[in-house]
Amino acid sequence: MQNQPLEEDGPLPLSSLRLFVPPLRLVSAALWQVVQRRDIMDYGLVEEFVTTVLEVVPDLMSYRERVQLIMGLRAQLVLELCHTDQLADPKTIQPHLNRMRTCIITLRKNETPDPEVEASKSNFLKLIQSLLEDPVKREHFFQNVFLEEFGPKYDSTLQSLVWEFLSRLEKLLPTPTLHQTASWFLPDHSVLEECVQSVCHPESLKTLLQYHKPYRHLDTNALSSSDNHILSSLSLLETVEIFETEIQSEPMQGFMNIQSSASSDNEFEMNRHFHQPQTDTHSAAAQT
């Protein structure tokens, strides 16, 4: 397989992962981990997810890829059940065989009949039936045939198909940017409340942030010094106080101007009266 993700140090609790990883990627990662660890008893859940996706987007994989992936997962689960004495009974296994038949019918819709696919399905169903009916055949099969046909090579092929499916699904639905996501929201206050409530788990958020702290390299000087408009606006109080001081000083200055004007008028009037008698005396003398 190629382009497999690198492993990070230490696991995170699911509650923290839900805050950080998109839901679809989280499911994909869980499915991949199941197949990688060969948790065969969970292959049914993997198959159900794969089938649901491929029913909606069949072009994500070719017809043969779809058949091998879906049938391969369910077949491995059926064989695991047959290999376990306590579970090797028709009542336990028959629902899985019915599921396989249903999946084949769904997969071949609008597809050209493929004789090899039909033969594989029929032969596998007959094999399981014979293993359930004959304990001797079952013992022989798991001792001499199973590892050759359903061993490491089978597992490797199945893992490759699962990885290819998950990779294509991620390409089909890439994680949107912040601006794209914001543009899809309805202008509804309840949306904000629901989104905030979904992340209001202090311990989960704290765990997530602490996990990423060692890898964090953020440029905290991205904004220029000219982007301090908010601080400037919040300093408005100082400007208002200066303005109020100027307003308070204006009446006093007006009063002083009025006083100065009145004083000048009084002085002019006094000078006029002081010089007026002299003018009258000179006039009388001239007449004499």
The two three-digit tokens of residue 45, written as one number: 């859940």
Give pLDDT tens digits for 164-207: 999 999 999 988 898 998 888 877 888 888 888 877 777 777 77
Q: At what angle do helices 115-133 and 90-107 cross, to 10 degrees?
A: 180
pLDDT on residue 261: 57
The span from the CA of 19 to the CA of 170, in Å, is 19
Q: How confident is the model at residue 110 (pLDDT cuts 50, 70, 90)?
A: confident
Note the residue count of the chain. Answer: 288
The two three-digit tokens of residue 155, written as one number: 């597992």
Quickly count: other Cβ atoms within 10 Å of residue 260's Cβ.
Answer: 10
The secondary structure of 136-153 as a DSSP string is: HHHHHIIIIIHHHHHSHH
Q: How confident is the model at residue 210 (pLDDT cuts 50, 70, 90)?
A: confident
